Each structure stands twice: as C-alpha cells, then as structure tokens.
Structure 1
Amino acid sequence: MRAFREAVEAGDLGAVEALLAEDVVFTSPVVFKPYEGKAITAAILGAVVKVFEDFRYVSELSSEDGRDHALVFATRVGERALDGCDFIHVDENGLIDRFMVMVRPLSGAQALAAAMGARFEEIAKEAAARESEARTAS
C-alpha cells in the first residue's frame, strides 16, 4: 500500500490510476450505489483531490496477508474538517479491486457530497474520455 499512499500524498493521479484494477469497485461515503470500473474510479479520485484540502494520512493498518488495508486520513472540505478512512483490498496481482471510503462527521460528509455533486458532470465526462482512451489503446 506504500505505492498508493505515496502517490496520493504526492498528488500523482497517474500513479494512483496505475494501481487500480480494471474491475475495481469504488464505494463512496455519500452515494448509495458503488461505482464499477477503473475509468470512473480514477475520475472520482481526481475530483476528490480538488475537493479535499490539507489532506494527510495519519495512520495505516494492514492485514497479515497484505491484501486488506485501512488508511486513516484527516482533511477539510471548505470550512468543514473531516476524518475518514480508505478501506482498500488488492487482488492477486497487487492491484486495487475494492476501494471504500468512510468519513465523519455528518456535516463533513454533507460538505463532501455537495462539493462532489457540483463536479458530477465533469467526473462523468472524464470517465467517458478515459473509457474511450482505454478502448482505443486495446
């Protein structure tokens, strides 16, 4: 998980995307239905980088087999401070195949939902462009 954490902390979205499995499932803290696929997950994470301010990981836990990780973070969305956790599972190839985010408090989650909702159209366009690039490359 070191590569993922370092990529996030450096703001290297290309490196983050390279660590995602094609069939990754992303579960948002503010949307009921999970998002499926590398393109939409990468687009969401790209938007999150713009929304989160003063982001920092504060703790990390890993399972004995190294496939499950919990990365605890602190950040802000506007004036709202939030604490959260990225729960990450990697597949047999070491790629992230499940990514679930949880945040607290409710007021922070609401600020996150509003900020991400305002970017939804941009996120959808970026995901479509990524999917198109992937189809062209293969």
Structure 2
Amino acid sequence: MKAFRAAVEAGDFAALGDLLADDVVFRSPVAFKPYEGRPIVAAILRGVGRVFTDFRYVRELADDDGRGSALVFETVVDGVSVNGIDLIRTNDTGLISELTVMVRPLSASNALATAMAAQFDQIVAEASGATS
C-alpha cells in the first residue's frame, strides 16, 4: 500500500500499473460493472490522475493481515469537492488484486462520472495499447 499511496500522492498515476496484478478487479464509484485486468485498470487510474486536482490522503486504515487497507482521500473534480475512500486488497505476491473506490456526496459522484466519461475514449485507447 505504501507504494500505491506514494505514487498517487506524487501524482505519478502512470506508475500504478506496475503495482497491479494481471487479474486485478476495479470497482468504480460511478459504474455498476467491475473492470478486470491490468491494462484497463491502469488506463482508468491514469484517467483519474487527469481529472483529480488538489488530491490528498487524510487517513489510512489497515487490515490485521496486512493485505488490505482503506485510504481516505479528499480531492476536487471540476470545482466540486470530493470525499472518498480507496479500498485496496493485495494478493500473495503483494500486487493489488482488488481496488474499490467510493465517493461522496452525490454532487461529487456526478462530477466524477461526467469527468471520467470525457476520458473514456482515451482510456479505451490506452488499454488497447493504441496510445501511451
């Protein structure tokens, strides 16, 4: 979790791909169906890096087994304040196997959905290897 947190706090969303398991599952706060696999999840995280501003983690909670954590964050998307949490689970090799993001309030979810929808074509292209 330390490497994930450090990369996000440094704004290095491109580095997050190396921390993901090949079969990682990402549950978005604005999409019903989970996204599966390193290419699409890494591209989504890069997209998130393009829409978040003034991002900061404000609290971290860890499971007793050391394989799970919750990172509470605050950020801004298109002028809307967002409160959220990253729920992270790692596999036996220490790579992220599950990432669930939740945000509040509703206005934040709506702003995030709109901002990420504008990123969707680029995300799909990045995931398919069309761009870097």
TM range (shorter): over 0.9
Q: Residue deviations 1:79-129, cap 9 Å, x none?
A: 210100000000000000000000000001000000000111110000000
Structure 1 segment 56-135 matched on structure 2, within 5 A? 56-129=56-129
For residues 101 and 60 of structure 2, the distance between their equivalents in structure 1, rounded to whole angstroms, comes to: 14
Percent of matched pairs sharing the same residue: 56
Q: Match of 2:78, as an amino acid?
A: G
Q: Which runs of 5+ in 1 are unaligned?
A: 134-138
Q: Say which is worse superposed, 6-15 or 35-44, in terms of deviation.
A: 6-15
SS in 2 for 1:26: strand
Given that 2:74 and 2:83 are in contact with CA atoms closer than 8 Å, whether structure 1 keeps it comes out as yes
- Aligned structure 1 segments of 4 or more residues deviating by more than 4 angstroms: none
Cα pair distance change 1:14/1:115, threshold 3 Å: closer
Structure 1 residues 28-64: Cα deviation after superposition (integer angstroms, max 9, x where no partner): 0000000000000000000101101100000000011
What is the deviation of 1:17? 1.1
Aligned match of 1:136: none
Higher helix share: 1
- The structure whose Rg is larger is 1
Return the TM-score normalized by structure 1: 0.92
The 1:91/1:57 distance shift into structure 2, 3 A limit, reads same
**In the alignment, what sits opposite 2:48?**
48
Task: Report the CA distance shift for 1:30/1:19 in structure 2 as closer, same or farther (over 3 A).
Answer: same
| Paired AA for residue 104 in structure 2 | R
RMSD after superposition: 1.5
2:32 aligns to what SS in structure 1?
Answer: coil
SS at match of 1:118: helix
Partner amino acid, structure 1, of 2:12: D
Deviation at 1:12, TM superposition (A): 2.1
3-state SS of paired residue (1:59): strand
Counterpart of 1:119, as a letter, is: Q
Q: 2: distance between equivalents of 1:48 and 1:14? A: 10
Cα distance between partner residues in 2 of 1:47 and 1:66? 28
Bigger shift: residues 32-41 or 9-18 = 9-18
Equivalent pairs, count: 132
